[in-house]
Structure 1
């Protein structure tokens, strides 16, 4: 099987797990959001650290946490990802999966805007149009509902900031996320021990709930591993396009499985976002094609 095909299948697997994960969190709706977040953090560390140990790469954590600057960078990434995780869990539990879907649709455009502001990156005309349409979608939803879609915006901004920080990390994705949950796990474990001591913890109350909580580590680690493997085999334009499968499946869960209502304002906002993403993706593919053509031309030219 060609490497490109393998990468596409791996990416589809990762996005399918992410996109259908609201079903899992609905099964744990009886567990308070903060307690569920603590379990996800702790069991993720167990899975990620176990994987690095099997691969003989635990020593790589020193690269992620070896200096004060590295600890601060990793700590900021950890803060962004734990905020994102908590808000996602909380949103599923209060019946706002529709908003999480919107947030992850907006995320690529927020990430582009962060690149312009922080990294001074330049955008093509179509990319600016896409960003403007996303802003119009948020404005439409805000005026229509009487309040901004804070869940969607916070998810998009925290994940965008997380991606921006990750670009500056020298270590790989699995090592860096292991370092992040390593920093968060003492707090998570402390909170879980406090709950258990007070008799309020749900872990151990019944086998089903305890097994599902442990499984949160696998649910977090597996798509990350698949995504990391896919990123090595698929070009960035294809990778970016396939990522839309995640919010699309979340949208399916919200509307079809959970029966969350869609107002005309939501339909208008989602429509604008989908048009924006189509323009953004088209521009990305055009740039990627031009870049590859340029590389092939330079390779084909004989040396002077």
Structure 2
């Protein structure tokens, strides 16, 4: 009996995969902190190079070693026209997101990264309203108001505009919007998106190597292994996410996605000892309240209808 004949087994695999993906992302700051002394542009270069090669290896193995999907449903190796344009724009956004995420962790701003990924679902709601014409419920409007209130409180009361959080939230939120415009398999789309950046990364890392400024193969084998492994830790959670997205409801994925920023928050406070002043905590509470309202708005349309008369 295959998984399509056993919905319960498929759903169980989907939940395990989703939890694995978001747990992977949540603990990822520990990985980047281990090579925090390596400049963020160099780390990004290795992440793009090895992540891109790893993604293309998966795409090619799936395409030529396994039985490919039959008929017109099979995806072309490289899309054309508007789809390719959307994917390349998505590549710019995801590479930007990767850079500021690594930079935030290596600069002792993991809490800012956590806040950014907490805000991200609400940013996605806002972008859906502006660009897709999606209508917001009252709870969703209230959720957005709480998020804006949290940002304003951090800016006015703490005196620090959370620009890193907003860059992470809007870059990834816009990336998600583009993925809606260009429907393509997850890993395959990632491979196409960062294809031009692989060349840039190769040239940049080659320059660092020749000038003696690079950290890869420069003495410490552990550092070299971690830089090479940047591709693996980039692509693996996306693989888990792709498995989950095909097997469980989008509402379930939306609920489980809070695992990642919550784990980032715990790592930032408990492991990295990032300062969490009371005023800053209030800003987080605003955002958490917004997320609670956002979750309730989703449940109201599904769970409530299922159990209430």
TM-score calculated relative to the size of structure 1: 0.92
Q: Which residue of 2 aligns with 1:245?
A: 259
RMSD: 1.8
Cα distance per residue 1:67-95 (max 9 Å; x no partner): 2x333212210111011000000000110
- Report how many aligned residue pairs link the two structures: 292
Match of 1:46 among 30, 40, 53: 53
CA contact (8 A) 1:64 1:171 kept: no
CA contact (8 A) 1:63 1:171 kept: no
Q: Which residue of 2 aligns with 1:25?
A: 32
- Distance in 2 (CA, whole Å) between partners of 1:155 and 1:163 is 12
Q: Which residue of 2 aligns with 1:297?
A: none
- Distance in 2 (CA, whole Å) between partners of 1:269 and 1:197 is 46
Unaligned 5+ runs, structure 2: 1-7, 69-73
Q: Which residue of 1 aligns with 2:235?
A: 221
| Aligned partner of residue 52 in structure 1, secondary structure | helix
Match of 1:94 among 91, 104, 107: 107
1:176 aligns with 2:189: yes
- Distance in 2 (CA, whole Å) between partners of 1:258 and 1:184 is 31
CA contact (8 A) 2:88 2:194 kept: no
CA contact (8 A) 1:64 1:74 kept: no
- Distance in 1 (CA, whole Å) between partners of 2:248 and 2:40 is 35
Q: Which residue of 2 aligns with 1:83?
A: 96
- Distance in 2 (CA, whole Å) between partners of 1:190 and 1:112 is 38
Runs of 4+ in 1 over 6 A off after TM superposition: 57-61, 290-293
Cα distance per residue 1:99-146 (max 9 Å; x no partner): 000000000001100000111100111111001110101010000122
Unaligned 5+ runs, structure 1: 294-304
- Distance in 1 (CA, whole Å) between partners of 2:41 and 2:83 is 27
Q: Which residue of 2 aligns with 1:283?
A: 297
TM-score calculated relative to the size of structure 2: 0.90
Q: Which residue of 2 aligns with 1:3?
A: 10
